[in-house]
């Protein structure tokens, strides 16, 4: 059951091309955003579409592979874990960001 703890699976469309950066230690980090959609009928019977945006982070060879083949608009399935990062923005304000650290991905189309 331990492998079920903090596990995230999403299918959606990439909102932008994957951005990659090499860190000082030579390790690659990639960032992307994915949009997931949920379609349902509200209480009035009207069709409603709800879009959620998620930030993806990948490391090492996986980051390089995502950068090479994942392009804006492509549908992708990802699996990973949810993390929260605390940082200070350019104005000195402390902020928090939730991110999915990708362990696997699959292009759908």
Reported as a single tens digit per residue, the pLDDT across 63-104 is: 999 999 999 999 999 999 999 999 999 999 999 999 999 999
Overall CATH class of domain 2-107:
mainly beta
Question: How is residue 60 written in tokens?
Answer: 């090492």
Please state the rounded mean pLDDT for residues 44-62.
96
Which neighbouring-strand residues pair with 50? 38
Give the pLDDT of residue 1.
62
**4-29, pLDDT tens digit by residue?**
789 999 999 999 999 999 999 999 99
Return d(Cα 57, Cα 36) in angstroms, integer.
Answer: 16
């Amino acid at each position: 059951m331990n492998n079920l703890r903090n596990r995230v699976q999403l299918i959606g469309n990439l909102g932008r091309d994957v951005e990659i950066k090499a860190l000082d230690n030579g390790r690659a980090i990639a960032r992307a955003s994915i949009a997931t959609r949920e379609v349902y009928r509200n209480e009035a019977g009207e069709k409603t579409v709800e879009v959620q945006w998620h930030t993806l982070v990948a490391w090492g060879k996986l980051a390089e592979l995502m950068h090479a083949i994942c392009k804006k608009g492509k549908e992708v399935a990802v699996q990973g874990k949810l993390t929260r990062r605390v940082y200070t923005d350019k104005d000195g304000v402390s902020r928090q960001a939730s991110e999915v650290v990708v362990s696997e991905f699959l292009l759908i189309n």
